[in-house]
Each structure stands twice: as C-alpha cells, then as structure tokens.
Chain A
Amino acid sequence: MDPFHIKKAPIVYDAVVVGSGAGGGMAAYMLTKAGAKVLLLEAGGYFDPADPKYITQLKWPYESPRRGASTTRPGGDFDAAWGGWDIEGEPYSAKSGTEFFWFRSRMLGGRTNHWGRISMRFGPDDFRRGSLTGVGDDWPITYDDLKPYYDRVDRLIGVFGSVENLPNEPDGIFLPPPKPRLHELMLKKAGKSIGIPVIPSRLSILTKAINNERGACFYCRQCNRGCQAYADFSSSSVLCIPALKTGNLTLKNNAMVREVLTDPRTGLATGVSYVDTITLQEVSVQAKTVVLAPSTCETARLLLNSKSARFPNGLANSSGVVGKYLNDSTGASRSGFVPSLMDRKRYNEDGVGGMHVFTPWWLDNSKLDFPRGYHIEYGGGMGMPGYGFGSGIENLNGKVPGRDGKMKPAGGYGAALKDDVRRFYGAYISMSGRGEPVPLESNYCEIDPNTVDKYGIPTLRFHYKWSDAEIKQAKHMQDTFEEIIHALGGMPMGNKPGPETNYGLAAPGRIIHEVGTVRMGSDPSKSALNSFQQAHDVKNLFVVDAAPFVSQGDKNVTWTILASSMRTSEYLIDQVKRKNI
C-alpha cells in the first residue's frame, strides 16, 4: 500500500462531521435522526463508558500502581480523558511573552469524557455584553433564539437544578437536584450571612432515569471516569452511540482531518481529506455539506490550513478573523480548613460527580472595577483518597490545637500524625472562580510557519495575554474566597495569591473553556459565520463547536454548544429541504 496514494472513498455522504465531542455528537445525532447519511470522523479511538475494557469507575486507588497520579494523563490514571495538554507528536507553540495551554482529548466523545457536567444556560445579558457595557461585542442572536433549543437539550440529555428566577441565570427543565452535603449546607449558611447566594448546582447527571437507554445516577462522585450506567452526559454514550443505532451513521475513528476540500469553480466544500493515524493512509471523502466540530482551536487550524487559490487566507476567512478573539474562562482558587468539621461522623457522602451547590454571579459590574462576572464552584467532603492525600499536612497540623488543647510543632510523625489525619479528614473545603474574560482581537492562534505535527499538518502558534479586566476579576475572587472561608469559621490555607501571580489567575487554556476563534456575526467583513454558524463565504460549511461563540459568559459553555449545534443542524436540514444548499 502506498500511503501517499490518496484513497478516494466512492460514497458521497450527505454530511461529514469532524469531531465527536458535544458539538459534533449533537450534529451527528440530529442529522442521522433526520435520515441523512453521515460520516463522523474522530481523530482518536473508540470509547464506550459501558464497555468493561474502558471502565475505571468504582476502582480503588491501589488498583493503579501510581495510586492515580497524573504521570501520563492530567486528570490522573482513573480519569476517562485520553490526551491532555501535551500529546506526543502533536506540538503547538506560543509567541514570546505569551502563553496558551491547549488540552485535547483524542477519543470518541472528546472532552465530554472529562468535564464537570456543569450545564448552565447563558442568560439574556450574556448575548449582548457589547451594548450593555461598551466593552466587547454582541452576538448576532439573542437568548430567545436559543431558548427553545436549550429546552430540548434539557429534555433530551437531562440536567438537574432548581428554579430560582434569577435575571441572568435562566432556569431550565430540571430534574431534582441532590441535597447539599454537610459542608455545602455550611456554605449556604455562610453565604447567606454575607449576601452571597449559594444555590443548587446545575449538572447534566440523571438523578432520575429519563428513558430506557440510560440509567439513573448511583452517587459515586466519579463522572470524570465515565459512567457505565450512562447516567451523565458524554457525547459518546448519549449522542454518538444512539446516532450509530439509526443505521445512518458511519463512524471513522483515528481519522485526523488535514483539510476541508473545495471545488475551485463553485467555491463550495466537497468533503475533507484525513490521515488514518494507525495505517497512515491518506484518504479523501466526499460530502454535500461539511460540519466542523473538532474544538475551537482545531477548527481554526483546519480552516487556516485549507488554503487554495480561491481561498488564499484559508477557508471561510475572507474577513481575516479566523483564529482571533480566542478566549478561555478565567480561573482562580483557594482552599480552607474548617475546624468545626474536625472529627466528623463517617458516612458515605460521595454524591454526584461534583458540587451539589454553587454561587452564580451576584454583583453588578457597573459598580466594580472590572467588566465581567464569575461564578464559584465548591469542593470538599469525605472523598475517596487519591494520589497526594495527606501531602502538605505540615502546613496545617502546627496551626490547630491537638486533642489536649495544646499546640504542637508542624509536621511530625508516628501515632500522633495518624491521629491528625483522622481528625482533619473531611474538614477541608475548596472554591474555584470561573469567570468571563473580555475577548480580544490580540488573543489569537495562527499557523506556525515553521512547524508541522507528526502527520505533516502545520501546527498552531498562540498569542494570548490576560488583560487588566481578568486580573482585577481574579483579585476580586481571592477577596471573596477569604470572606467566605472566614464566614464559615475556617482558616484559609496557604498564602493569599497577590499581584506577583496575577492573584492566582490560571494561565490561558488551563480552564479548558476556550471559545471564539471562528466568530459568528451579521457583518461578513468582521465575522466568519452567520447567525446560523454557516460560513459567510461557503454556504455548505458549518461550525458547531465553541469556535463561533462571540463570548462565553460566566457560564461553562457545553450546554450552549449543544443548543447551538442542535439549532444549526435543524437549519441545515431545512436549507437542504428548501434546496438552498
């Protein structure tokens, strides 16, 4: 076999979907349910959370020789996500003085195998930050355009939460939320005392079964390992596998897409070319429409690499905007020790895979020195020990009086140390702020002129710097965290992050919420896609991951990816019916 002889598949698919995460999974699901013949290309391997050969759920730490340490995957041995910030043979770079960390999951379902299942809708204001604040841009659509799709995603996939009637935190069609754990009840009470709302979280976990294909949550707190009962949302179990069952989907794993192919005469997309990562065979496939969802940065890379005489700046890029306005959530965190939780009664409080309560953004930015808000996620409780358990006890056990009421030196050893561990277990809490950045044209990814990956595909180079808006927001987070810890009667751990670390603001990319590189808009000179995420320049090319998003709110973006992809898929079907494409 000559791998450089490009194999041309004889079939012309109705659509080829690139990427099997939330956006691609939803498009494959919607299109195949409507009867279209779809080819789904995924760069990584097959994965089914219910197949025992992949199941790490309910395993014990000692079943890993490194006790779950993150030596080969960032989330540790038990985490379902393959890949990470560094993948052998798939480099990326950053321009001097800037940084960006790019997390990729090469597997069926992509990064939906890894995430925290936090499933919030954007609020009405999140679509019009530009006109509300004079900073940033509005979306070409409003909350009302997306609301029917959010409703349908809620019903199709399932999300728990509580009806709160908050102005910019739209309620969904919720399953019952799990009751707060002990430290979460304490957080609620503490929040109330200082005017910070603490409400049930909104996670796509089935606290009740919603159909015969998926089970209900059995409260092991391990969603990040994938759920063998399909009781949480992963694109593999909830979208891709059901799409396969329609008989209309062809799934090709290990297919790394190189380029979107176009007809030089009509300028329309004709399919894609990919390299089979196992055999290294080059293949080109034909399709009447091309739907991209390989992730925000991968979509920009693919378009910029799809250059031709007709599209010299890359595909769908006559505006030159592709790659620009890259933005990730802000993130900062702090932990605390709550003495009143020492010597707790033991019981199983695993609960769902994540927090049972959270704090939505509660303040008015017009009265603050930064333009965008954040929400707070909480951690704590009597969790399963993992790698790192007990590390750093020397930072605490010298600050808490012993059973005899006397202080003792930090660190130590022996039976007294064991006793400290028993006393302190379950008495820690942690909080993480996740905030909205202001998207900037100067934060971007572009093709690195000098570098290719192991398949010969030109790689990305990033240019990303936080601005004052995000740094001031992180400072506010740190002040709030201490306020909450003190209201709990707790002790903040470690030193308060200050200006020398941008107040603990995580480096760009670390929160893995990046959006914005192929933005939508009504003006084709300033945007790549129209309000249906259809390329202005190529009418049979669509983008359904988070690349089209003009901004990301202070909400995690998965639920909006799902709703937008559903909306775009229906628009695509409608356009085909009308013979417009």
Chain B
Amino acid sequence: MKRRDTLKALSLTSLGMAVGPVEAAVPEPPEPKPAVKLLPGRQKFEAERDTQLMGQKFLTPAELQTVTILSDIIIPADSHSGSASQAGVSAFIDFMMVDQPRMQTPMRGGLRWLNNKCVSRYGKPFAQLTKEQQIELVELIAYPGKATPDMKQGETFFTNMRNLVMTGFYTSKIGIADIGYVGNTPNEWKGVPDDVLKQYGLSYE
C-alpha cells in the first residue's frame, strides 16, 4: 500500500471512532459477512459463484441436527481419531447441497422418509430417539442388499449419506491424519523404503 493510501485508510478508521449520539441511535447495520477466502486461480464466474454460495444454507436446523447425528454414527470418535462432527462434516454436506442442487431432493426426502419411519415405529422423529433406537433403525438400512423391501429407499439414502460423510471426513485434517497420508509436501522420492521392499519380496534389481 502506498503511503498516501495508508493515510486515507487511517482517516476513515478514525472517523468511524468518532461516533456521536445521533449515529449511535441508528440501528447497527447487519454484521459484514466474513470475507470469503477463495482458492487461488478461480475464474471470474467461479469466484462470484463461490462467494454467493458461502452465504447460503439448505438444511433446516432440524435437518442439520439429524445429519449430524447420522454422521457421527457413520464416523464416530474412536481410539485413532475424532468424529465426523468434530471434523466439520455437517457444514460440508450442507455446502454440497447448494453447490450441487441435484443432491437436495434425495437428502431432504431421505431425511423425511427416515423421520416418518421413526414416527410410525417409535412415535418420534429420529433425533428424539434413544441411542439404542437410532442404531436399531440404522441397522435396517446400513447394509446394501440386506434391507427388507420396505426399507429399500432407506438403504439408498443411507448409502448416499455414508458416501458424503466419508468424503467429508477423509478430506478433513482429522481424516487425513487418521488414514496416515503424509504427502503433499516438497520432498525427494528415493523409491520404496527398504523394509517395505523386503516385506513384499521385491527389489529394484
């Protein structure tokens, strides 16, 4: 920044500090949106689209709650790593709904299907069931090819959910550390380590 521009910016800031009683009575403008951090190299239409999408939500608070519970059933915390919700998977799933709107109906409809099944079986939607009841229901839809005919739509929904949760989790910091990916850093490739060559009975001749 040139010195002149710095001065200009400073004077604007100090103006802002000199808020008199009249200005203070005016309702505060909505909080400025947090600056969206875009990936480098975005084309103009991509930058505009990303900026616009970041402010949008698709899932209702109730839907988001159910998605979060399901995510943590699919990827719970264990002795190796944290859970899907700790890795921010629900927010990723919500973003994908606005990024690829074709995902919206299977998601919203699938959640609705799930809650209807829960209400008819237990009298309550999924989020309000006990942990045991939630697992009992999930067991009916978690194994492709094993679901009974009345649970087929649930099987499809759960498979989609599993795939989304897997991507969301394993592309997060927690998930990357869990699988032990140690690349994406400048290095020199010197070949397969000797102990691994030995383990597989291979050599570079």
Which A residues lie at the B interface, using CB under 8 A? 45, 47, 52-56, 58-69, 71-73, 77-78, 80, 82, 88, 178-182, 185-186, 189, 218-221, 226, 340, 344-352, 382-394, 398, 409-415, 417-418, 421-422, 425
Task: Check if A417 sits within 8 Å of B74, measured CB to CB.
Answer: yes
User: Contacts A56-B40, A64-B39; is A418 near B187 (CB within 8 Å)?
Assistant: no
| Centre residue among A45, A179, A182, A383 by max chain B CB count within 10 A | A182
Closest to B81 in A: A418
Distance of A352 Cα from B49 Cα, bound (Å)? 32
Task: Check if A412 sits within 8 Å of B170, measured CB to CB.
Answer: no
Instruction: Using A45-B43, A61-B171 as known contacts, list a sample of 14 further A-B pairs with CB atoms less than 8 Å apart, ordered by residue number in A.
Output: A56-B41, A69-B96, A180-B192, A182-B196, A185-B197, A185-B204, A218-B187, A350-B184, A383-B183, A391-B166, A398-B144, A412-B143, A418-B75, A421-B166
| Centre residue among A64, A178, A418 by max chain B CB count within 10 A | A418
User: Contacts A346-B182, A422-B178; is A394 near B39 (CB within 8 Å)?
Assistant: no
Task: Check if A179 sits within 8 Å of B204, measured CB to CB.
Answer: yes
Q: How far is the CB of B50 from chain A (nearest CB, A)?
A: 7
User: Contacts A64-B39, A390-B166, A413-B73; is A220 near B183 (CB within 8 Å)?
Assistant: yes
Listed by A's residue number, 29 A-B pairs whose Cβ atoms lie within 8 Å are A45-B43, A59-B40, A62-B172, A65-B53, A65-B95, A72-B46, A77-B39, A82-B43, A179-B189, A179-B191, A180-B191, A182-B202, A219-B189, A221-B183, A345-B193, A347-B193, A348-B187, A349-B189, A350-B187, A352-B189, A384-B181, A391-B167, A409-B143, A409-B145, A411-B142, A411-B159, A412-B142, A415-B78, A418-B81
Q: How far is the CB of B109 from chain A (nearest CB, A)?
A: 20
Q: How far is the CB of B84 from chain A (nearest CB, A)?
A: 10
B110 to chain A: which residues have CB within 8 Å? none
B99 to chain A: which residues have CB within 8 Å? 65-66, 69, 71
Distance of A387 Cα from B39 Cα, bound (Å)? 16
Closest to A49 in B: B41
Task: Check if B92 sits within 8 Å of A67, measured CB to CB.
Answer: yes
Q: How far is the CB of B200 from chain A (nearest CB, A)?
A: 7
Q: Which of B139-162 contact A (CB under 8 A)?
A: 142-146, 158-159, 162
B46 to chain A: which residues have CB within 8 Å? 72-73
Task: Check if B204 sits within 8 Å of A385, measured CB to CB.
Answer: no
Distance of A142 Cα from B165 Cα, bound (Å)? 55
User: Contacts A68-B171, A72-B49, A185-B202; is A348 near B185 (CB within 8 Å)?
Assistant: yes
A88 to chain B: which residues have CB within 8 Å? 45
Task: Check if A218 sits within 8 Å of B39, measured CB to CB.
Answer: no
Of A392, A411, A415, A421, the residue contacting B76 (CB under 8 A) is A415
Closest to B50 in A: A65
Q: Which of B17-58 contact A (CB under 8 A)?
A: 39-41, 43, 45-46, 49-50, 53-54
Does B190 belong to the interface (CB within 8 Å)? Answer: yes
B16 to chain A: which residues have CB within 8 Å? none
Distance of A25 Cα from B45 Cα, bound (Å)? 27
Of A60, A347, A382, A394, the residue contacting B162 (CB under 8 A) is A394
Q: What 8 pairs across the A-B complex have the smallest Cβ distances?
A: A390-B166, A179-B191, A61-B171, A218-B186, A346-B180, A350-B183, A391-B163, A409-B143
Task: Check if B75 sits within 8 Å of A417, measured CB to CB.
Answer: yes
| Centre residue among A52, A62, A344, A393 by max chain B CB count within 10 A | A62
B196 to chain A: which residues have CB within 8 Å? 182, 344-345, 347
Does B136 belong to the interface (CB within 8 Å)? Answer: no
Task: Check if B40 sits within 8 Å of A425, measured CB to CB.
Answer: no
Does B80 belong to the interface (CB within 8 Å)? Answer: yes
Q: How far is the CB of B102 from chain A (nearest CB, A)?
A: 11
Task: Check if B184 sits within 8 Å of A60, measured CB to CB.
Answer: yes
Distance of A77 Cα from B80 Cα, bound (Å)? 30
Task: Check if B181 sits within 8 Å of A385, measured CB to CB.
Answer: yes
Distance of A417 Cα from B81 Cα, bound (Å)? 13
Task: Check if B143 sits within 8 Å of A347, measured CB to CB.
Answer: no
Task: Check if A66 sits within 8 Å of B172, measured CB to CB.
Answer: no
A382 to chain B: which residues have CB within 8 Å? 180-181, 183
Does B195 belong to the interface (CB within 8 Å)? Answer: yes
Does B176 belong to the interface (CB within 8 Å)? Answer: yes
A71 to chain B: which residues have CB within 8 Å? 99-100
Distance of A78 Cα from B197 Cα, bound (Å)? 33
Of A67, A82, A178, A351, the residue contacting B171 (CB under 8 A) is A67
Task: Check if B170 sits within 8 Å of A421, measured CB to CB.
Answer: yes
B190 to chain A: which residues have CB within 8 Å? 179
Task: Check if B171 sits within 8 Å of A385, measured CB to CB.
Answer: yes
A385 to chain B: which residues have CB within 8 Å? 170-171, 175-176, 179, 181
Distance of A107 Cα from B171 Cα, bound (Å)? 29
Of A47, A180, A390, A409, the residue contacting B146 (CB under 8 A) is A409
Q: How far is the CB of B26 from chain A (nearest CB, A)?
A: 34
A54 to chain B: which residues have CB within 8 Å? 40-41
B158 to chain A: which residues have CB within 8 Å? 411
Which B residues lie at the A interface, using CB under 8 A? 39-41, 43, 45-46, 49-50, 53-54, 73-76, 78, 80-81, 92, 95-96, 99-100, 138, 142-146, 158-159, 162-163, 166-173, 175-176, 178-193, 195-197, 199-200, 202, 204
Distance of A264 Cα from B128 Cα, bound (Å)? 81
B145 to chain A: which residues have CB within 8 Å? 398, 409-410
A53 to chain B: which residues have CB within 8 Å? 40-41
A390 to chain B: which residues have CB within 8 Å? 163, 166-167, 169-170
Distance of A59 Cα from B202 Cα, bound (Å)? 33
B81 to chain A: which residues have CB within 8 Å? 418
Closest to A394 in B: B144
Distance of A387 Cα from B100 Cα, bound (Å)? 13
Q: How far is the CB of A73 from chain B (nearest CB, A)?
A: 8
A52 to chain B: which residues have CB within 8 Å? 40
B172 to chain A: which residues have CB within 8 Å? 62
Q: How far is the CB of A54 from chain B (nearest CB, A)?
A: 4
Distance of A218 Cα from B192 Cα, bound (Å)? 16
B96 to chain A: which residues have CB within 8 Å? 66, 69
Distance of A59 Cα from B38 Cα, bound (Å)? 12
Distance of A68 Cα from B172 Cα, bound (Å)? 12
Closest to A392 in B: B163
Q: How far is the CB of A418 from chain B (nearest CB, A)?
A: 6
B40 to chain A: which residues have CB within 8 Å? 52-56, 59
Q: How far is the CB of B134 from chain A (nearest CB, A)?
A: 11
Task: Check if B170 sits within 8 Å of A59, measured CB to CB.
Answer: no
Distance of A422 Cα from B196 Cα, bound (Å)? 18
Task: Check if B183 sits within 8 Å of A349, measured CB to CB.
Answer: yes
Distance of A75 Cα from B81 Cα, bound (Å)? 30
B182 to chain A: which residues have CB within 8 Å? 346-348
Distance of A538 Cα from B108 Cα, bound (Å)? 62
Distance of A429 Cα from B61 Cα, bound (Å)? 41
Task: Check if A414 sits within 8 Å of B76, measured CB to CB.
Answer: yes
Distance of A181 Cα from B204 Cα, bound (Å)? 10
Q: How far is the CB of A69 from chain B (nearest CB, A)?
A: 7
Q: How far is the CB of B51 from chain A (nearest CB, A)?
A: 11
